[in-house]
Structure 1
Amino acid sequence: MAHHLVVGAGLIGRPVAERLAARGDTVTVATRSGTAVAGATSLVLDAADPAAFSRAAAAATTIFLCTNPPYPEWAAQWPPIFSAAIAAASSSGAGIISMGNLYPYGSPAGAMTEHTAETTTEKKGLIRKACWDAMRAAHDRGEIRAVEVRASDYFGPGSAGTAHLGESFFRAVLASKTAHVVGRPELMHSWSYLPDIATTLIAAADFTGDWGRVWHVPSSAHSRDAIADELNAHFHSTGKVSGYPQWLLRGLGTVNPMMREVWASSYQFTVPFLIDSAETERELGVTASLWDEALFATADSYRPDPRRD
């Protein structure tokens, strides 16, 4: 029986663990606080501690790295977490699946594929690029088996209020108010549905072909203006979307570390930002959920009464 170590129990780690347990696999979920997840064993773990990480992974066949530090802490936390994960995969022989994002690619000139050059100059993108480079190098040396699954901005029931297509966006539009967003809301942007992210992570773990590569979560591309229009038509609301001026984001960043990082990566919303997952879909057999079903399920999760017409 497969034994999986899932590091992180947030919006991605929890459903991954629950699905693995539901299919009969043995699952251990490791977090700083020992978060309980149905069907899994809970473990308290500092993921930056290589000895503790290696002990946690000793019996694992697969490690899912699904933790995500706050933006301002990426520089301090990500490198030691990846180093510890590499050490744990090496000592245990477990395959490792890293949950990643599109930041390493930088500002795109077109749709980003699994083989797009990683040309970022932004700090967070450089951090994630360096971490994956280290993991892939360990794979190429034959020390571990590793892949990275990359998603665009996520959405789904329960998505955080800080998400670009999260609680604050849906509640504003559904209340016929204005959703204030980063960047230009008329531009096309790819959105990754949380259940599809979990599906792709598990499919990547089950893949019997070559590892040491990047997979892309199948996603759907829509402008936020179009999303608001679709929500208004379905829920009889009259919400609108307005983009924060870039100068305002930059100004807020001078006094707020989180807003400084939001501004630094706001380029993702000033140009069309599209993900191409054709190769992943072909090789892993995964597809994006139907857009309308995913969007309305997410919106329903934020309505006072989901049963209301």
Structure 2
Amino acid sequence: MTVQNRIALVLGATGGVGGETAAALVRRGWTVRALARDPGKARLAGVTFLKGDALDREAVVAAAQGASIIVHAVNPPGYRGWKTLVLPMLDNTIAAARASGARILLPGTIYNYDPAAHPVIDEATPQRAHTRKGKIRIAMEARLEAAAAPEGEKAGVRSLILRAGDYFGPRSTANSWFASGLVTPGKPVKTILYPGDKGLGHAWAYLPDIGETFARLADREVELPAFARFHFEGVWDADGTAMVGAIARAASLKRPNVRQLPWGLLPVAGLFSETLRELSEMKPFWRHALRLENRKLVAFLGEEPRTPLDVAIRATMQGLDVPVVEASPSLKLSRAA
């Protein structure tokens, strides 16, 4: 069974998750709209941009008319303004979904959890966050679950959460660990600044794979319960060497200079930068391994979309204007496939 009215509204289409999800929906035959403060400057093949802001409820409600899904992939840039902006933006999306009858698709994070308590998480794992960002994320999901309840004045809004690890991809933003640490956009790789401890596993998610997964779930959203959660395993780097090795191969570095992120300096720098202050709170997720269990997702879709790591890393670096060496014939074939 598939969705009959294949119209989607994407909030955050100029970002990583929103952009890749919009592109995947277009590939799968959806009519895709997106909001932008300046539609004349927004460009994404097959997407119609409308003037508006996620903080403007009337604009969001108007843009969602006739849509069957709303992708809520919008966040304050650089983690700035999370406390005051994130929940009001979600409330606007809930109002738009209630008016249009659309299902909300929300990218979930691992920040809802205590990584020291749960090395592996599935959809039933208790959410207990110790960071400001994690607590807000828990509140977001609670609002969606409440809105999906069968009774109540504000009930009846369907939603879907797809949770994944840290994002990387050609559309990586400054919010991502990949673009703010492992490589420097626009510059050759000389030093790889890795946030995690040596030998510690970490979960990554390639943005085009996330977009494709969202699109496949959107195709079958009528088969889902009113409130649904799925976990995306993505790239499990068991000891922190897989990502570093793939970057080194793409940059043709035989002995990459790998340094650990200077966590001790972030609290001091955070006194002058809200972005760095929020990043410093994420330290526990680089001191404890946390892996996502994806059995529920695979059971529903049949598989989890997965791009070979070397192909994904090369595409990510090229998207960030980081020089890479010529790909081998096997990698070129994999990319074409």
Could you tell me the TM-score, scaled by structure 1's length?
0.90
Is contact 2:19–2:171 with CA below 8 Å preserved after alignment? no
Moved more, 80-89 or 140-149: 140-149
**Which residue, out of 91, 98, 101, partners 1:93?**
101
1:134 partner letter: R
**Which residue, out of 269, 279, 285, partners 2:296?**
279
CA distance in 1, matches of 2:47, 2:54: 18
Is contact 1:29–1:41 with CA below 8 Å preserved after alignment? yes
- Deviation, 1:237, is 3.3
Higher relative contact order (CA 8 A, sep 6+): 2
- Deviation, 1:28, is 0.7
Please list, as runs of the form range in 1=range in 2, the aligned pairs for 1:114-193 lying within 5 A after superposition: 114-141=123-150, 142-166=155-179, 168-170=181-183, 177-193=190-206
Is contact 2:233–2:291 with CA below 8 Å preserved after alignment? no
The question of 1:210 aligning with 2:228 is answered no
Give % identity. 29
Q: CA RMSD in A?
A: 2.4
1:219 partner letter: G
**Which residue, out of 275, 282, 285, partners 1:268?**
285
- Deviation, 1:176, is 6.3
- Deviation, 1:193, is 0.6
CA distance in 2, matches of 1:55, 1:298: 35
- Aligned length, in residue pairs: 308
In structure 2, list runs of 5 or more residues that go unmatched.
329-337
- Deviation, 1:247, is 2.3
SS at match of 1:166: helix
CA distance in 1, matches of 2:36, 2:99: 20
The question of 1:228 aligning with 2:240 is answered no
Q: Provide Cα deviations, 1:139-177, integer angstroms capped at 9, x if missing partner.
A: 0134211111112101122423552223752459x9563
Is contact 2:67–2:102 with CA below 8 Å preserved after alignment? yes
In structure 1, list runs of 5 or more residues that go unmatched.
none
- Deviation, 1:251, is 2.0
**Which residue, out of 54, 57, 62, partners 2:61?**
54
SS at match of 2:107: strand
Residue 335 of structure 2 corresponds to which residue in structure 1? none
CA distance in 1, matches of 2:74, 2:159: 16
Q: Would the alpha carbon gap of residues 182 and 236 (structure 1) be closer, same or farther in structure 2, given more than 3 Å must change?
A: closer
SS at match of 1:213: strand
Is contact 2:171–2:207 with CA below 8 Å preserved after alignment? no
After TM superposition, where is structure 1 displaced by more than 6 Å over at least 4 residues in a row? none
Is contact 1:249–1:263 with CA below 8 Å preserved after alignment? yes
1:67 partner letter: V
- Deviation, 1:299, is 4.1
Residue 312 of structure 2 corresponds to which residue in structure 1? 294
Q: Provide Cα deviations, 1:92-130, integer angstroms capped at 9, x if missing partner.
A: 111111122111123242111122110112111111110
Residue 27 of structure 1 corresponds to which residue in structure 2? 32
- Deviation, 1:238, is 1.9
- Deviation, 1:279, is 1.3
Could you tell me the TM-score, scaled by structure 2's length?
0.83
The question of 1:304 aligning with 2:315 is answered no
Q: Would the alpha carbon gap of residues 31 and 285 (structure 1) be closer, same or farther in structure 2, given more than 3 Å must change?
A: farther
2:277 partner letter: R
Q: Would the alpha carbon gap of residues 119 and 30 (structure 1) be closer, same or farther in structure 2, given more than 3 Å must change?
A: same
Q: Provide Cα deviations, 1:165-208, integer angstroms capped at 9, x if missing partner.
A: 23752459x95632223342531101101111101211222231
- Deviation, 1:60, is 0.7
Q: Provide Cα deviations, 1:241-269, integer angstroms capped at 9, x if missing partner.
A: 22234322222222322111111122111
Residue 80 of structure 1 corresponds to which residue in structure 2? 88
SS at match of 2:45: coil
SS at match of 1:4: strand
